[in-house]
Amino acid sequence: MITTLLMTLEGSVPEVSRCVNVDDSMDLGTLAQVIDAAFGFSGAATHLYTTGAGELRQVFTEAPGAGESDETGLTVSKFTELTYIYDPTANWNIHVEVLGYSQLDGPTPLLIDASGPDIVESANGPELMTKFREEARRVCAGLEPNMEVTPLLLSFMPVMSPERMLDRLTVADPVTVATRIGYVAEEIYFDQPGGPGSPVPGPALADEFEDFLDSRPELRDILHHDPNPDRNPTLIAAVAEFFEDRMGEPDELEGFDEPDDNVIPLFGRGQPAPTHPSELDSTGEMLQGFVALFRKPVTLTSRGFLPTAVVRDLVRMMGLPDGLERPRESSFASVSNARRFLTGAGLIELDGNRLRTTERGESFLRADQPVQEFPTELLLGFEAVYGRRAWRHWVSVLGHMYGIAPYAGWDRSMPEDYEAVFDFLCHIGVLHIFDEELVVSRDGRLLVGEMLASYGG
């Protein structure tokens, strides 16, 4: 059923509220995305929900600790009111109240009403926003400025005139708010199993533009602060750059060749076919290429995914079909697996919202024979993707298939997920297609042998 929610920012002057229709099966994790879009939060900070008070108080979070509950375990149908706290270190508290069930039969989430401005997230709460609005009004009226507030006002919103500042701090454009909520609806739709986003089809242009904005924080600042961003010359130039880049040819990736028409399909994947076994790519060199992408820390998107620029590089390195204009991490299982592999191997690590190489990763990049020098790390990478027990089974299967010190005591039956695993192994150079057969590379043979020895084979 469709439920109408009234969401009000506590302590805001003028009142900041949003009325939104949502499906009552929506959990709090997804609702957080709707709230962030409705009020203009970037989504970069953590959040939590609270219900009740005193001994009856409950806390729902993304990563619940002692005494807390998982936010995905509570749906809209199971509460009448609660408080959404965005960035617990600030003072952004949203009171969420169920107004009732809607008789409208239409898509959700759907914006019904937007009252008051979008938030200025860097103000850390409505109190400073109120001071900013009062000061903008004084400046617009020609009154003597308050020098304790005006410098802050100009530093927080430097891209507009006083009149536009006052407008920005008074009202929000309902079309802009509805569009942001529409992006969330699209994300929900694309993330559904079997939906357009699973597993191969590409993202909508809106998702691509979101990734572009994530890579340009100054543009996010303009969108949050300028009530008429469509007139801002900096944003106009950036949007022109965005579409020009999409219309042009993809950038060449130095050191890697574009796939040609000499392709042998493997489980829906295309890979250039070598003409001689000696031309098989080195697993170590391929993995070094992956790790090198993170030498300059990579900032993740607001939803924690790799930016499209890095996904594009990985897609090319792996020889994946790159017909998508702006590929997403969730569109390619091998790209997601590669990220888990490198993290599990300790070659890259998450630092805040950025992925960067570790000291071990830098040593891996300097190694002349990385597979020989880092077999334990690579084994841990595979276990991070498939789990220790499942990967031990796979090592036994590979050892048996290619006569690499097979161990008769292990289960050598082919697992049900063999197509996906073979796919990934091909994408990282362990296996290759040669003369229409699936063969193991030199590095792959060595690596499987090392892992068999590690498991006691």
Q: According to the model, what pLDDT value does residue 103 have?
A: 86
> What is the C-alpha separation between 398 and 400, in angstroms, rounded?
5
Tell me: cis bond preceding 88? Omega within 30 of 0 counts.
no
**Per-chain mean pLDDT for the chain:** 81
Cβ neighbors of 194 (< 8 A, separation 6 or more) are none
Most confident listed range (123-137, 192-206, 220-234, 300-314): 123-137
* Mean of pLDDT values over 62-66: 88
Looking at the chain, the whole-number percentage of residues with pLDDT higher than 90 is: 37
Is-contact 383 391, C-beta < 8 A? yes
Q: How confident is the model at residue 324 (pLDDT cuts 50, 70, 90)?
A: low
Q: What is the residue-wise DSSP string for 311-346?
A: HHHHHHHHT-----SS--GGG-HHHHHHHHHHHHTT
Tokens of 446: 């060595």
The CA-atom distances, in angstroms, between 130 and each of 114, 169, 176, 258, 259 are: 18, 8, 22, 55, 57
Put simply, whether the predicted model's pTM sits higher than 0.75 gets the answer no
Q: Which tops the pLDDT comparison, 266 or 111?
A: 111
**pLDDT over 70 (residue 251):** no
Q: How confident is the model at residue 246 (pLDDT cuts 50, 70, 90)?
A: low
> What is the C-alpha separation between 222 and 230, in angstroms, rounded?
10
Q: According to the model, what pLDDT value does residue 137 have?
A: 93
Q: Where do the DSSP E strands lie in 2-54?
A: 2-9, 17-23, 47-51
Q: According to the model, what pLDDT value does residue 4 have?
A: 95
Q: According to the model, what pLDDT value does residue 457 have?
A: 54
Query: CA end-to-end span of the chain, whole Å?
Result: 57
Tell me: cis bond preceding 274? Omega within 30 of 0 counts.
no
